[in-house]
Amino acid sequence: MYTTWEICLTVEGKLDIFKNGERVHRGVPIVWLERQLALYGICDEDYKKVVDQLSDVGKASVRLSPR
């Protein structure tokens, strides 16, 4: 089963993080993004994609396969 992570930029300039549609974190400061996502295995190229998507549209999605 895949895990889908969504990261959304809020109007306050913080991040809400969702796992399979359920919010798991609210109001995460942007400076913590890399460390927070690394806890979930979102790093390297996946992390870069998230940052690019957030910059472009304020929302990012990553689908991870089971390990």
Check: CB of residue 37 under 8 Å from CB of residue 22: no
Closest CA to 48 of 31, 66, 34: 34
Does this model's pTM top 0.95? My answer is no
pLDDT digits (tens, 9 = 90+) for 7-46: 999 999 999 999 999 999 999 999 999 999 999 999 999 9
Angle at CA 35, nearest 5°, toward 63 and 37?
Answer: 10
pLDDT digits (tens, 9 = 90+) for 37-58: 999 999 999 999 999 999 999 9
pLDDT of 60 strictly over 80:
yes
Which pair of tokens denotes residue 58? 């304020």
Mean pLDDT of the chain: 94
